[in-house]
Structure 1
Amino acid sequence: MPAAYAFAHLHDRSPHPDVIEYLERIQATLDPFHGRFVIHGGTLEVVEGEWPGSVVLIEFPGGMAAARKWYASPAYQDILALRTDHIEGDVILVEGVGPGYDPLNRAEKLRSADPTGYER
Structure 2
Amino acid sequence: MTTFVIGDVGHVPDPVAMAEYRAKVLATLELYGGGFAIRGGAIDVLEGDWRPTHLSVMRFPSADHARRWYDSPEYRAIVPLRAGVRMDLVILDG
Question: Are the equivalent residues in 2 in contact too, given 1:16–1:86 (CA < 8 A)?
Answer: no
TM-score when scaled to structure 1? 0.71
Q: How does 1:20-99 map to 2 (within 5 A)?
A: 20-52=19-51, 53-61=53-61, 63-83=62-82, 85-96=83-94
Q: Equivalents in 2 of 1:20, 1:60: separation in Å?
A: 23
Q: Equivalents in 2 of 1:21, 1:10: separation in Å?
A: 15
Question: Are the equivalent residues in 1 in contact too, given 2:10–2:85 (CA < 8 A)?
Answer: yes
Question: Are the equivalent residues in 1 in contact too, given 2:5–2:59 (CA < 8 A)?
Answer: yes
Q: Equivalents in 2 of 1:77, 1:57: separation in Å?
A: 19
- Structure 1 residue runs of 5 or longer lacking an equivalent are 97-120
Structure 1 runs of 4+ with >6 Å offset: none
Q: Structure 2: which amino acid aligns with 1:33?
A: Y
Superposed displacement of residue 13, structure 1? 4.3
Superposed displacement of residue 51, structure 1? 2.5
TM-score when scaled to structure 2? 0.88
Matched residues, percent identical? 30
Q: Which has the larger radius of gyration?
A: 1
Superposed displacement of residue 50, structure 1? 1.9
Instruction: Select the structure that is richer in strand.
Output: 2
Superposed displacement of residue 27, structure 1? 1.5
- Structure 2 residue runs of 5 or longer lacking an equivalent are none
Q: Structure 2: which amino acid aligns with 1:55?
A: L
Structure possessing the higher relative contact order (Cα contacts under 8 Å, 6 or more residues apart): 2
Question: Are the equivalent residues in 2 in contact too, given 1:39–1:57 (CA < 8 A)?
Answer: yes
